[in-house]
Amino acid sequence: MRLRWLVADVTTRDLLKSITHSTERISELVQAVKSYSFMDQAPWQEIDVHEGIENTLIILGHKLKNVHRHARF
């Protein structure tokens, strides 16, 4: 009986970690997409190139798993 409880506890913890990671990823994606959606509101505007590149890497992160970034600014 205790072994079943232990297995259920470990499984629940793993699921909670997965849910937490997934919600963090979704939040990052939503923020990145929001920044893109505001870019087409004016014909000319100042942008942060670093932020744009970072948002692109966030959106494409699932395809670019082995990208290594080095901050130079």
CA distances from 9 to 2, 13, 18, 38, 53 (A): 10, 6, 14, 44, 40
Confidence of residue 45 (pLDDT cuts 50, 70, 90): confident
Dump pLDDT digits (tens) for 7-44. Answer: 999 999 999 999 999 999 999 999 888 887 766 676 77
Half-sphere exposure of 22 (CA within 13 A, CB side): 6
CA distances from 15 to 1, 6, 18, 62, 73 (A): 21, 14, 5, 20, 38
Determine which helix (DSSP H) or strand (DSSP E) holds 30, and give its type and residue range.
helix 2-37
pTM: predicted TM-score of the whole model, two decimal places: 0.62
